[in-house]
Structure 1
Amino acid sequence: MVELELRPVRTRILTDKDNIVDMIEKYAKQDVGPDDVVSVAESVVAITQGRITRPEDLKVCFLARILCRFIPQEGSLSSVYGMQSAMDAEGKWRVLFALIIGMFAKVIGKSGVFYKLAGTQAALVDDVTGTMPPFDKCLVYGPHDPKAVAEEIKKRLGCYGAAVADVNDLKRAAVLGVSEGLDPKQLARILIDNPFGNASQRTPIVIIKNYAKAERVAKEA
């Protein structure tokens, strides 16, 4: 049996002046083999793409002030700024419609309907303090085209595969984009304990060692 090893990679603070693939190559390439999968935190990918905004740059509408009160406190959209940024990205009427339907769905025992209907960015927006300094004073949107990012990482590093993942300490994991042939649900299970460190740890890259080898052994068993 081959055991997977999750190996976090420490970097400097990455900014919107950086190219995420260049940074992964710089800090991780020496530790990456042909059987490995390279995963990177989605918020850092988004930051390097410049998908950030400051609260003071948002024009907060009355509807955002009302709707944010219906979101549980642990959610980024419970902040008026988080709600406004989601409405700017996905459309305020879409978010309103999603919230109304989501509330009715909760009454009959179905959860998660709001985020399914409100659009991708509603689920991915990180509120102020939701990401690493100095961007803890900014709102961070979800990354653009994470699948293409994953494919470029794989090509550049010569690894088995790559993934862009959204993982937190509440045991919630979603893989937003993967290179061809990888199962995002399987990777989400592997990353569920959140091996990333986006704050003072500065480990936004995690190498999943021996991934392909473990797959081959499992198929032969």
Structure 2
Amino acid sequence: MAELELVPVKTRILTDKDDIVDMIEKYAKDLIGPDDVISVAESVVAITQGEFTRPEDLNPGWLARIMCRFVPQKGSLSSVYGMQAAMNYEGEWRMAFAMLVGMAAKCIGKSGVFYQMAGRQAALIDDVTGTMPPFDKCLVFGPKKPVEVAEAIRERLGCYGAAVADVNDLKRALIVGVSPGVDPKELSRILIDNPFGNASQRTPVVIIKNYAKVLAGK
């Protein structure tokens, strides 16, 4: 009986000069079968799209300096630069309104409202040191059109499916984009222990072997 197997794929350091689909084909083509799902780290997809900025290119305002103090330290928006970068992307007053509503919602026991209202970059942005060198000196935004990226990977590689995933070591696995036929909730469960290696490991791609066979057997 087929079993799921997670196979990290090592690459060189990927940059904004690379195409993520080309790189997956180059490094993983011979490892991929028709029943497999290819998952790729969302921060690396974003880097190949040029979706990053440097702290020195930002000019944090008073609103960012105040709002970042209300974000738990483990969050990227707890940094004044992370907050300002997200505000530049989503709009200062949108995020300020979202925080006010989110704080009010917490008072009645409802969490997560701020991130629901503030825009996708508020949830996806990685602060400095949040991704692989040399981009650990940058703030990395969420990727553009992740669903289209996943579908392009599936079509090129001939696999069962593909996904762009935001996974960390805090048991958080968010599927940012997925091709048709792949269950994002199931994929989150599979990736929850973070098989990616965005630092010295350089394994931003993980192949989930036998996904389709195991899914069909349930």
Question: TM-score, normalising length from structure 1?
Answer: 0.97
1:39 matched residue in structure 2: 39
Deviations 1:51-80 (A, max 9, x none): 010011112111001110000000000000
| Amino-acid identity (%) | 76
Segments ≥4 residues shifted beyond 6 Å: none
Residue in 2 that maps onto 1:95: 95
Deviation at 1:147, TM superposition (A): 0.4
Residue-by-residue CA offset, 1:121-171 (whole Å, 9 max, x unaligned):
000010011111000000000000000000000011000000000000000
Instruction: Tell me the residue number matched to 1:114.
Output: 114
CA distance in 1, matches of 2:2, 2:31: 18
- Aligned residues: CA RMSD: 0.7
Moved more, 155-164 or 180-189: 180-189
**Cα distance in 1 between the residues matched to 2:53 and 2:194:** 25
Match of 1:153 in 2: 153
Where 2:111 maps in the other structure, the secondary structure is coil
Structure 2 residue matching 1:7: 3-state secondary structure: strand
Tell me, what secondary structure is at the counterpart of 1:101? helix
| Aligned position for 1:181 | 181
How far did 1:177 drift?
A: 0.6
- Unmatched 5+ stretches in structure 2: none
The corresponding residue for 2:66 is 66
The residue number in structure 2 matching 1:192 is 192
C-alpha distance in structure 2 between counterparts of 1:171 and 1:53, whole Å: 26
Partner of 2:77 in structure 1?
A: 77
Q: Which residue of 2 aligns with 1:165?
A: 165
TM-superposed CA distance for 1:2, in Å, is 3.0
Tell me, in whole angstroms, the C-alpha distance in 1 between the residues paired with 2:182 and 2:39: 12
1:169-195 Cα offsets, whole Å, 9 max, x none, are 000011011111111111111101100
| Partner Cα distance (1:117, 1:67) in 2 | 15
SS in 1 for 2:217: helix
Partner amino acid, structure 2, of 1:216: A
CA–CA separation in structure 1 for the residues paired with 2:2 and 2:111:
37
Deviation of the 1:105 alpha carbon: 1.1
Name the structure 2 match of 1:124: 124
Aligned to 2:133: 133
